[in-house]
Structure 1
Amino acid sequence: MEYTEPTNKTSVSEFFLLGLTDDPELQPLIFSLFLSMYLVIILGNLLIILAISSDSHLHTPMYFFLSNLSFSDICMSTTTIPKMLVNIQTQSRSISYTTCFTQVTFVLIFAYLETFLLAVMAYDCYVAICHPLRYRVIMSPHLCVLLALLSLLFSIGDAQLHTLMALRLSFCTDLEIPHFFCELAQVIKLACSDALIDNILVYVSLCVVGGITLGGIFFSYIHIVSFVLGMPSQGRKYKAFSTCGAHLSVVSLFYGTACVVYLSSAVTDSPRKTAVAPVMYSVVPQMLNPFIYSLRNREMKEALRKFFDRICSFRVVSLALFLQD
């Protein structure tokens, strides 16, 4: 019996993204929907960054980490949505081998970065509420930059490890990915070589990173709740909880959508239902985060108001100078 070796990974030139639906009549609707969501993500998070950078009152550790989170959200959505929009517009499903693995790498980087940033922001809330007199000393600019850099470096290192391991895999003929972007787990499923080590690495990484970040968040909020409940004043209790209310909402949204993705993938084998799941963690949190922080945070609303007032004043002055000329 003649043995035929599986196609080597170097011969693979492209994968095929099946997207959310096969129905051509729904493609314009999906294009418009995702284009709108992408614009909301970009504009919303960019406004957060500009408002924070333009208001000296917001040059604090909490808003420093928030601007990093907004930047991560912009990068995460830019990694996935534009390629999907191009494919819909050109009526193509292909994505090159190099582009696919580039997507895998950057999706992992910014997904991990978000988890680390949320944990760091929880620690920042803990210090602000439980140690207010020492807050400026503990959360020094040096420590804030160091925590942000470490979060990024750990995210890059973890993502590179997964990608390099996946690049060792060989792929055969069935190269269809039932998503709108290249997700690591789905790429591994397409391998016709042994992917046991890759799967183990994925689960170990999720357990370690998830354990560290969720553990840090739980640790911070257990101490916050314990400290706040011991306060005699109801007004101080409300102020303390409102300080971390927006962050807690973002944490619930991010990890809640992640749980939805995990449960949906565990209970269904439908490719189309599986394709919808990544939208829950790669698009929805990134779109809602700016609204959560701008609507639930009085300082953020005031900064945005000042930012828009500056823009309006600048336009009025520019128009007056133009008319004078």
Structure 2
Amino acid sequence: MIRLPASLILAVVMLLGLVAGSPAHAAPPDDAESEDPGLHLLREAAIASRTRGYAGTQYVTTWGRSGSFSSVTEVRNIPGQGLTVHAQPSGVTTKVDPGTPAGSMAAPSETMLEVLARNYRVVVAGVGQACGRPASLVHVLRADGTLAARYWLDRAAGLALRRELFDGRGQIVHVGAFVDLSLDPARKIAGGALAAGGLDLGETPRLLAQGWRFPAALPGRLELFAAHAATTGYLYLGYSDGLSVVSVFVEPGVLDEDRLRGWHAQRRDGHTIWMRNSAEQETIWASGGHVYTVFADAPADTVDAAVAALPHEPVPSLWSRLGRGAHRLLSWVNPFG
């Protein structure tokens, strides 16, 4: 059974629960003038989140088939150093580096904006209030005009205060928001806006050269933005549509079902998968001599489609070769560090 470090799991929770779809460095003037105003506001929010110190309490709530599930974190951002996250009630503290490939609700990355712009239209929708602060409203719309997400961006500091995700039926499925927020005095950062992580696919050519194949996309317009072999014995693959992230961990071995306390089994298309009710929608199963673990913040039907598209084979397959290759090429430690 795959065992992920507690700090890594917390980083995944932060990534999945709070990831948003905008970049962390400014566009060239021509691009800034031509892009949608809503997209530009998200870009500015990302810049503000990396150049402004702040501290506060955030919560994440996910609605699934079995009800709602929530998590709470205390966060502290220091420009140039990154975000420190203290989870409640576990007490686990971790550091989210400013160069992560996906970022967070308050500090989304360039990659997320690029993917978001390909999949959605971003519009300014008026003004409102969140966390007791005046905010600009930004809506993210699907091609058919339905609402996929909405953001509350602080009008004074520019930070993302709240984000809501909606499924195709218009039902809210995920919320990430500040409960309280305090800001450090504004100050300039040497070198201007801080760079954000882009596509984190540097190992992909080496993986492909070794004969491994993995999809560049999953159902629901989820595009591959990160692929790494980790020194602790697993492979990490990150997929996103610009709003949600589906993180896939692959580890050689067999699944010890006796240790899956708190998980429940489901039969899907003749295969058994295990699920745990949580804000990050955890799923785990065995296939072809490997264990697959998925964390996701997407709507339930998107998660189901992504899981179904991943391997569910009783014998070693092409994906199993990928897992064995990852075991040989262990060179990378933390997919979010």
TM-score by length of 1: 0.23
More strand by share: 2
More helix by share: 1
Higher RCO structure, 1 or 2 (CA under 8 Å, sep 6+): 1
Q: Larger radius of gyration, structure 1 or 2?
A: 1
